[in-house]
Amino acid sequence: MNKTPRVNINLDNIEQNARVLKEKCDSLGIEITGVVKGGAGDLRIVNSIVAGGILTLGDSRLKNIIKMREAGFDNKIVLLRLPRLSEVKKIIKYVDISLNSELVTLKSLAREAIKQKKTHQVIIMVDVGDLREGVLVNDFIKFIEKAIKIDGIKVIGLGTNVGCYGGVLPTFENTEVLLDLKEEVKNKLNYKLKIVSGGNTATTKLLDSNELPQGINNLRIGEGLIQGTDITHQREIDYLNSNNITLTAEIIELKEKQSVPSGKTGHDAFGNKPEFKDKGIRKKAILAVGRQDVKIAGMTPLLKGVEILGASSDHLICDITDTETKLQIGNELEFKLNYGAMLKAMTSPYVDKHYFNLL
């Protein structure tokens, strides 16, 4: 019997996603950076992505990158989160390409690269409106003019990230900004930016509707690859496998209970004031999984008729009145996870990992 709570990881599905995405992007002249941070540095997931033919990997955590290096992955690796000054030494040692938006950091990387006699490549991030990382469009030319003069690093491209913080969606227009900037750099500074990294999973929407401006030659894809979904557009990507990582938890109590708590009510353990609809007496199941393991709002029960009512740190309460299956103590229920819930489950030390292959 496998332990619970556990994530069930379908490695073959992930490998197949890598293969399908790569083929699609190859035909359009787009290189994919396979973003593995959603798997929290899980080496078997990394392995599946590489086996699917995606050879450049990206992660936002240096810790995960070091883990990959120590396991022997000699792939090109991109650090996705802007470098901390305090980790420059390790970045130069372990990372091939970093994404950047600060001159101070670039200078520090350059000094260290010279010291370690390494070539370090950088991509300059542009903020096209999402308000996460990036140099503002109007400051870009001035910034890059200084950046390309720094000895010790090589500026190889520019990129943007949308759909992560501000919820700004990728469009033809805000993605084309990168190509205009690339052109301007060529004309004004006589410098060729080779890589134009157009975005993340959200940008696959443009790819699928043929709205991705021609000239975008790199995408950094994580969610689509691992879960086959695109949460910014609330869609499953139809040519990819989805639900490649699910969560299973075990039933520890089954009782008929009222649907509204009795007694004087205050706030719950998380400071919220829960609200209840009176549906009379219902059949309830308590599962041994909670907020320390997964993001409850990102879970969807796979068994028909199960409804998640709420959770505390360690208990998940479900209404199972409408299920057709007869459930017992010790039975397991499986849940779909959205990307946020998957991230939480993959990084929780309490959640076990179970790998399986359906193909």
Ligand X SMILES: *Cc1c(COP(=O)(O)O)cnc(C)c1O
Active-site residues, by number, are 37
CB of 161 to ligand X, least distance (A): 5
CB of 223 to ligand X, least distance (A): 4
Q: Which of 57, 216, 221, 286 binds ligand X (CB under 6 A)?
A: 221
Q: How far is CA 118 from CA 95, 100, 109, 140, in A?
A: 10, 18, 10, 26
CB of 211 to ligand X, least distance (A): 18
Q: Is the peptide bond before 261 cis (omega within 30 degrees of 0)?
A: no
- For residue 2, the number of C-alpha atoms closer than 13 Å in the C-beta half-sphere is 17
Among the residue ranges 63-71, 220-228, 314-322, 344-352, the one whose residues contact ligand X (CB under 6 A): 220-228
Residue placing its CB nearer to ligand X in the complex, 216 or 289: 216
Strands (E), the chain: 6-10, 31-35, 56-59, 76-79, 97-100, 120-127, 135-136, 153-160, 195-197, 218-221, 229-230, 235-236, 245-258, 281-287, 299-301, 307-311, 316-319, 332-337, 352-356
Contact indicator for 129, 138 with CB cutoff of 8 Å:
no
CB of 236 to ligand X, least distance (A): 14
Residue placing its CB nearer to ligand X in the complex, 212 or 333: 212
CA-CA-CA-CA torsion for 25, 29, 33, 38, nearest 10 degrees?
Answer: -20
User: Phi then psi for 157, rounded to 5 degrees?
Assistant: 180, -175
Residue 50 neighbours by CB under 8 Å, 6+ apart: 18, 34, 57, 73, 75
User: Phi then psi for 44, rounded to 5 degrees?
Assistant: -70, -35
Q: Which of 101, 174, 200, 243 binds ligand X (CB under 6 A)?
A: 200
Residue 90 interacts with ligand X (CB under 6 A)?
A: no
Among the residue ranges 101-109, 217-225, 267-275, 327-335, the one whose residues contact ligand X (CB under 6 A): 217-225
AA identity, residue 95: V
CB of 169 to ligand X, least distance (A): 12
Q: Which of 222, 228, 290, 298 binds ligand X (CB under 6 A)?
A: 222
Query: How far apart (Å, rounded) are the C-alpha atoms in residues 288 and 234?
Result: 29
Among the residue ranges 30-38, 141-149, 206-214, 289-297, the one whose residues contact ligand X (CB under 6 A): 30-38
Residue 323 interacts with ligand X (CB under 6 A)?
A: no
CB of 95 to ligand X, least distance (A): 13
The DSSP result for 142-161, as a single string, is HHHHHHTT-TTEEEEEEEE-
Residue placing its CB nearer to ligand X in the complex, 201 or 246: 201
- The CB-nearest residue to ligand X is 222
Q: Which residue in 309, 302, 317, 307 sits closest to 254, CA to CA? A: 317
User: Phi then psi for 299, rounded to 5 degrees?
Assistant: -100, 140
Alpha-helical regions (H) of 116-246: 140-147, 172-189, 204-208, 223-227
Size of interface with ligand X, in residues (CB under 6 A): 14
CB of 90 to ligand X, least distance (A): 18
Residues 92-151 within binding reach of ligand X (CB under 6 A): 99
Residue 49 interacts with ligand X (CB under 6 A)?
A: no
Residue 205 interacts with ligand X (CB under 6 A)?
A: no
Among the residue ranges 216-224, 235-243, 247-255, 276-284, the one whose residues contact ligand X (CB under 6 A): 216-224
Residue placing its CB nearer to ligand X in the complex, 99 or 195: 99
Residues 60-89 within binding reach of ligand X (CB under 6 A): 60, 80
Site residues (vs ligand X, CB under 6 A): 35, 37-38, 60, 80, 99, 161, 200-201, 220-224
